[in-house]
A and B are shown apart, each in its own frame.
Chain A
């Protein structure tokens, strides 16, 4: 279709003044000059800085991506290490707790044992003390009773009383003893 149109344009052109396919050397000359100057100017002032910037940006992006990847790997490593450490620490703490529990049990038993022994010892000592005191008290009582009896006999003998009176006196002293 375009080709047909092109032919009709050529036909039109031959009727009109100039022709579409007349190559004007002046235009060729200026196109060359303009294009080459344009190329040189743009190359120096536009394409070079833009392309350099694009390259820089691409390298920067590539590098940051690579860095991010490395950082990610390192973080993963650290995380794994942390998890291992955590597991280790947990194990250790469990061990420590278990050990301390065993130790505490032992200590408890020991303390209880000691306490029991101590108590027994104290009780024994107390019992011995009580026995001793009891004996001493009994001895004193015995000596007092003897003294009272001697005193009573002394009084009876001094007063020289009849049977009746003697009985009374003896009863009276015996009553005193019981009272004491």
Chain B
């Protein structure tokens, strides 16, 4: 809860500054959830990130890209240090034990029942997905850090990867032609087939779209609620509302912890389900 307190005090300090600058500008909220080319380490200063171009596309290292790398690096460090504990013994202690609970949960409760036979080859992807989203979500609650899953480009990328894996698994199981033929349930009247085909085709794309928007909206919403609650203090120009605001913000912050876990679970679970559906198309 120490981290929560710090992030709140930073948020308040920042809010004071912003409101002092421009009394009616609501963009200070957006400043916290939007991407940018600098990382704010108030009061220690600001880190400006380099601009990059590749084939005419702007691939600048933005704040969110920076934190994607931080999360990835952290994940690599944690999981490799956990994996090394298995070298000497089959029953490790410490961090490996904690990671093992999640790994076994993802394997036995998400991937195994959703995908069924041959689930082993999808495990590395599923585990990476789960841990990446979980760590990203939790990282959003850390002071100074940004919520990278609150960037729609990030969640869209994850959803596209999930889409590609899903289609690939379906095509690998049935072959490309049979896979698309299977999209329409057999035994349909001839007239309905074009309509069904269209609906199923759209359905293919709505699934990852829903994945993308769900994760993004959930992560952004919590943060905006927290900042809005704290903003009440400055909008109302009174300290009386502060305890209420801080109390509610703390409550939302705790809720965010839960949401971070649930969203990681939901994203992984749905991806596993889609893969399972693509692999077993017999309606």
A binds B: yes
Q: Which of A35, A42, A48 contacts B76 (CB 8 A)?
A: A42
Given contacts A16-B27, A47-B127, contact A26 B58 (CB under 8 A): yes
Query: In the complex, which residues of chain A have a beta carbon less than 8 angstroms from the beta carbon of B123?
Result: 47, 51
Count of chain B residues near A, Cβ 8 A:
62
| Interface check A18, CB cutoff 8 A | yes
Cross-chain contact B91 with A57 (CB below 8 angstroms): yes
B73 closest partner in A (C-beta): A38
Cross-chain contact B59 with A30 (CB below 8 angstroms): yes
Cross-chain contact B58 with A5 (CB below 8 angstroms): no
Which residues of A, 46-64, contact B by the 8 Å Cβ criterion?
A: 46-51, 53-54, 56-57, 60
Q: Give the shortest distance, in Å, between B245 (CB) and chain A (any CB).
A: 17
Query: In the complex, which residues of chain B have a beta carbon less than 8 angstroms from the beta carbon of A31?
Result: 65, 68, 153-154, 157-158
Encode contact with A along B53-85: 1 for CB under 8 Å, 0 otherwise: 010011111101100110010011001101110
Cross-chain contact A30 with B83 (CB below 8 angstroms): no
The segment from A6-14, A119-127, A132-140 found at the interface with B is: A6-14
Cross-chain contact A38 with B76 (CB below 8 angstroms): yes
| Interface check A39, CB cutoff 8 A | yes
Q: Give the shortest distance, in Å, between A39 (CB) and chain B (any CB).
A: 5
Most chain B CB atoms below 10 A, which of A13, A21, A25, A38: A38
A55 to B86, CA, bound (A): 12
Count of chain A residues near B, Cβ 8 A:
45
Most chain B CB atoms below 10 A, which of A21, A41, A51: A51
| Interface check A142, CB cutoff 8 A | no
A2 to B255, CA, bound (A): 14
Q: Give the shortest distance, in Å, between B226 (CB) and chain A (any CB).
A: 12
A22 to B104, CA, bound (A): 37
A9 to B76, CA, bound (A): 34
Cross-chain contact B30 with A50 (CB below 8 angstroms): no
Interface residues of A, Cβ cutoff 8 Å to B? 2-3, 5-6, 9, 12-13, 15-18, 20-32, 34-39, 41-43, 45-51, 53-54, 56-57, 60
Knowing that A6-B221, A29-B59, A34-B69 are A-B contacts, what are 5 other residue pairs whose CB atoms are under 8 Å apart, sorted by A's residue number? A28-B154, A39-B124, A51-B120, A54-B107, A56-B90
